[in-house]
Each structure stands twice: as C-alpha cells, then as structure tokens.
Amino acid sequence: DTEVTQTPKHLVMGMTNKKSLKCEQHMGHRAMYWYKQKAKKPPELMFVYSYEKLSINESVPSRFSPECPNSSLLNLHLHALQPEDSALYLCASSQDEAGVPEGNEQFFGPGTRLTVL
C-alpha cells in the first residue's frame, strides 16, 4: 500500500460547526504532515508529527487542532473556522529515517477541499 488517503474529499461547514479531517497511511511512515493550500499558491506547512508527537506547529490558529491517535492516523479538528480558512487541506507522510536520501520524500494524500460559509 503506497498511498495516503484522506476523508472527506469535500467539506462545507458553517462558522459555528465542529468537523474533523482524517488522514491514513499504511507505509510505515513515522512522520505525518498537514498542509494548507490556497489556489495558485504552494502548500503551506501547518503541523508535523514525528513518532506520534507534535514536532512542528507553524503558528496555526487554535481553531485548528491536530491529533495523531497512532502512527497510521492523523486528524485535524476544526472549530469556529472563518471563510478565509477555505482551502485545500493536504496530508502527507514520510519515512523520517535519518541517513536515507529519500527519507524526507513526502507522499501526499488527495486532499480535502474545505469551504467555510
């Protein structure tokens, strides 16, 4: 299995809703990432988990809350979002193995297209 899966593919939510994005990989990767991507822009890193521990939080507002229940799963909990949070949310994973040239190759999921009304 060499893919990263994400659900849902599309999500429309109001500003008062609570929803969650889910990501799963079964490649044995130990690093998992959340990115946010606006149209015609490159992906922007939000969070990194390494060995199920939050490693990087790129000054993301608290209305985004990540969770890593185990090494294969990564969630992003959403609460009280703003319309400007509408974007494509990408999950990625990598081996996270020091000394391996391709250790940082990130495999991306198909993304969740989020619209906040």
Partner 1 sequence: GQNIDQPTEMTATEGAIVQINCTYQTSGFNGLFWYQQHAGEAPTFLSYNVLDGLEEKGRFSSFLSRSKGYSYLLLKELQMKDSASYLCAVDPGAGSYQLTFGKGTKLSVIP
48 binds partner 1 (CB under 8 A): yes
Instruction: Rank residues 18 and 26 by Cβ distance to partner 1 and give the closer one.
Output: 26
Tell me how far CA of residue 54 lies from CA of 25, 101, 103, in angstroms. Answer: 17, 23, 18
What is the total count of residues that contact partner 1 (CB under 8 A)? 27
70 neighbors 53 (Cβ within 8 angstroms): no
Q: CB neighbours (10 Å) of residue 20?
A: 14
Catalog residues that contact partner 1 under the rule CB under 8 A. 31, 33, 40-43, 45, 48, 50, 55-56, 88, 90, 94, 96, 98, 101-102, 104-111, 113
